[in-house]
Amino acid sequence: MNRTLFAKELRSNLFVFGIVYAVLVMYIAVVVSMFDPELGKSLDMMMASIPELFAAFGMATQATTLTDFMLNYLYGFLLTMFPFVLIVIMANKLMVRYLDRGTMSYLLATPNSRTRIATTLAGAMVALLALLAMLVTLAEVGCAELMFPGDLDTQGLLRANAGMLALWVFLAGMCFLSACLFASASAALWVGGGAGILFFLMQMLSQAGDKLEFLENVNPLMLFDYYGLAAGEGEAALGAAALAVIGVALFTVAVAVFNRRNLSI
């Protein structure tokens, strides 16, 4: 890791990070405020009228506790899709653009090994995601405690968020590898980004219809079982651990690829 580069990358990604975080905080606040054991029934009625649509966004469970309610409405889509957008933007800023615009030549015109530079860039990405997970947790706990003191199963939420971070790291590793792998900027960005979008679409389809449920078996996103994590199930923890391990492996491969490839910059 190179501290100068790390600091620069944290700074240059802070703006988009802030926007994504602000959007997430807004949704968290709205979802938490919508929780009302009484009013929830009307939401349940709406859900019952168009169950496929709700199911597609992973909001299929009839939530009775605040924790379940949050898991239902936040974790299936909002807390995965928005950070995924951030991941794609960061992969673009941290690697694709450096190579496409040739600014990587400046980074490599310094006595820093390629491994060190790629590790620093990947490190900045993971650090920002970890920070986001932390801040999201804070916002969730804050909102819940503010509006419904004592209702939240904080332990369960923390476990779910650890799994959520593992999922983000997996998605980030995928996008970073794609960024390191391809010479053309659009391929570098959209092979990784496209794979992510595909996984999300597969998830929505398999949740909405019975016929497409087989898609669950080939979708890495399914390793993130937030209900299981919140409930403290061993299998869910294994799934999250697998995501984290695959994510780190993808980053490692990405650094190795970057180390060896030709950079016509």
Partner 1 sequence: MTLREAPQKAQGGSVEGDALAEDKACGENQASLVGEIFEGSGVAAEERSREVPSGTAAIEVCGLVKDYGKGRGVFDVSFAVQPGEVFGFLGSNGAGKTVTMLNLMGFIRPDAGTARIGGRDCFIERARIQQSLGYLPGEIACMDEMTGTAFLEFMARMKRLQDRNRMRELVDYFELDAGRRIRKMSKGTKQKVGLVCAFMGRPDILLLDEPTSGLDPLMQSRFIDLVMAEKRRGATIMLSSHLFEEVERTCDRVAFIRAGRLAAVENMDDVRRSRKRVFSVTFADAVACERYRTAHPEAAGKSERVVEVTVAGSKAPVRGAAVHSAGSISASMSASMSEAARSTTEPMTGITHSATGSTDAFVKDLAAYPVADLAAREQSLEELFMHLYGADASEKGGSHE
Q: Which residues contribute to the site for partner 1 (CB under 8 A)? A: 2, 4-5, 8, 12, 101-103, 105-114, 116, 260, 262-265
- Given a contact cutoff of 8 angstroms between Cβ atoms, the answer to whether 173 and 61 are in contact is no
- Terminal Cα-to-Cα distance of the chain (whole angstroms): 22
Question: Residue 176's closest CA among 121, 116, 112?
Answer: 121
Least distance (Å) between residue 188 CB and partner 1: 16
Least distance (Å) between residue 104 CB and partner 1: 8
Least distance (Å) between residue 245 CB and partner 1: 29
Least distance (Å) between residue 109 CB and partner 1: 4
Which one-letter DSSP state was computed for residue 261? S
Closer CB to partner 1, 94 or 136, in the complex: 94
Closer CB to partner 1, 5 or 171, in the complex: 5
Closer CB to partner 1, 14 or 249, in the complex: 14
Closer CB to partner 1, 99 or 164, in the complex: 99
H or E element, residue 32: helix 3-34
Closer CB to partner 1, 49 or 262, in the complex: 262
Secondary structure (DSSP) of 161-229? HHHHHHHHHHHHHHHHHHHHH-SSHHHHHHHHHHHHHHHHHHHHHHHH-STTGGGGGG-GGGG--HHHH
Secondary structure (DSSP) of 51-65? HHHHHHTT--S---S
Least distance (Å) between residue 250 CB and partner 1: 24
Neighbours of 126 (CB within 10 A): 19
Least distance (Å) between residue 19 CB and partner 1: 16
Closer CB to partner 1, 18 or 209, in the complex: 18
* Cα distance between residue 78 and residue 27, in whole Å: 8
